[in-house]
Amino acid sequence: MKKIQMVDLKGQYEGIKDQVNTSFQEVIENAAFINGPEVQQFQKDLEDYLQVKNVIPCANGTDALQIAMMGLGLKPGDEVITADFTFAATVEVIALLQLTPVLVDVEPDTFNIDPKAIKKAITPKTKAIVPVHLFGQVANMDAIMEIAEEHNLYVIEDNAQAIGGNYHAKSGKTYKTGAVGHIGATSFFPSKNLGCYGDGGAIFTNDDKLAHTIRGIVNHGMYERYHHDVVGVNSRLDSLQAAVLRAKLPKLDLYNEARKKAANLYNDAFKDEAHIETPYRVGDCDTHVYHQYTLKIKNGKRDALAKYLQEKGIPFGIYYPIPLHKQKAYEDARYNEADFPVTNQLVQEVLSLPMHTELDKEQIDYISKTIIDFMKS
């Protein structure tokens, strides 16, 4: 059996090795390291794939979120609602811009932001909602967009974990995740479903005026060289990373299918386990791209299982061990524990298993058998 890894980037590289190596050589020989032809072509390729009018590449996913908020003209004191159960980058940029983060609870099945909790949290200061398509499962965008429309709010999709997924709207239209709200942001961190070999990110929108604003923000606020019209940042995708992404993007659907196949094998293995809850999927199989395969361990033995897996040499992750509202940086007297029953439960139960494109049946059988043996002990 191959060594089990949480993510196997080297194995994935073998399938794109020739194209990546050739592209790297061309970038080095052309010396167009910043905003070269590879970046410009990747931008067009991603626009076509997502069916959006504008993609603006940037340096990483956290920058993508920050720049999206800057582009929308959000001001200090404006409130931005987002999920309590997610990675800190989402709330981090809200705080960095001196906006007011408003954390709300998530749904117990999808782990995504709860529209009912969003409604309760809206005040006259609320300006935006940031749904996170957590672990690859698309959030309830119809409900979120209806709330946003009713209250005249922006919707910024954090698509770092769900690129390639589909959202089937009530209207009958199918969108790629990240292309439903007013603006989307994603990360190309190496372990993502579409990842580069360093850092990278992108912002996408169908609003041409907003896209123009953002193109200046990512480049020091310049629309014309040395004319700084707005306060900007230095956040650009480099050509080497774009070359990797160009090699991977045509394979993204295949990569996501490989993840779904692995998820189905796990699901089948755990289907009779009373104390294991497998990931919930909303509707069609294309609505979840399994960035993570996250179990809920319902018998109170999550931490003991984690220790056992460690002893057996099986990698795992606990995403996330502490709710954001309990993190020192984001504690706020406004928060009431009674408002976070789901998140407070999830942090005690969730455990993510190895999930990547190179995972094979022998590895999945070994991982699931090890877990089932522990649960029966």
Query: Domain containing 367 — which CATH number?
Result: 3.90.1150.10
Q: Does 130 lie in the same domain as 24?
A: yes
* Residue 2 included in any domain: no
pLDDT-derived band at 10, boundaries 50, 70, 90: very high
Q: Does 339 lie in the same domain as 306?
A: yes
Q: Does 42 lie in the same domain as 13?
A: yes
Query: Domain containing 53 — which CATH number?
Result: 3.40.640.10
pTM for the model: 0.97
Q: Does 264 lie in the same domain as 230?
A: no
pLDDT of residue 277: 98
Q: What tens digit of pLDDT does each residue of 243-269 get?
A: 999 999 999 999 999 999 999 999 999
* Residue 3 included in any domain: no
Quote the number of domains for the chain.
2
**Helices and strands counted in the chain (H then E):** 13, 14
pLDDT of residue 337: 97
pLDDT of residue 283: 85
Measured distance CA(190)–CA(111) in Å, rounded: 23
For residue 308, give its domain range.
Answer: 251-376
pLDDT of residue 284: 81
Q: Does 98 lie in the same domain as 15?
A: yes
Q: Does 256 lie in the same domain as 216?
A: no
Q: What tens digit of pLDDT does each residue of 317-346 get?
A: 999 999 999 999 999 999 999 999 999 999
Last residue in a domain, options 216, 250, 284: 250
Q: Does 274 lie in the same domain as 239?
A: no
Last residue in a domain, options 229, 250, 271: 250
**pLDDT, average across residues 55-66:** 98
* Residue 1 included in any domain: no
* Residue 199 included in any domain: yes
C-beta contacts of 99-105 below 8 A and 24+ residues apart: 99/69, 99/74, 99/75, 99/127, 100/125, 101/330, 102/126, 103/323, 103/324, 103/325, 103/330, 103/335, 103/340, 104/339, 105/339, 105/340, 105/341, 105/342, 105/343
* Residue 319 included in any domain: yes
Residue 199, phi then psi, degrees to nearest 5: -110, 150
Q: Does 57 lie in the same domain as 201?
A: yes
Q: What tens digit of pLDDT does each residue of 159-196 get?
A: 999 999 999 999 999 999 999 999 999 999 999 999 99
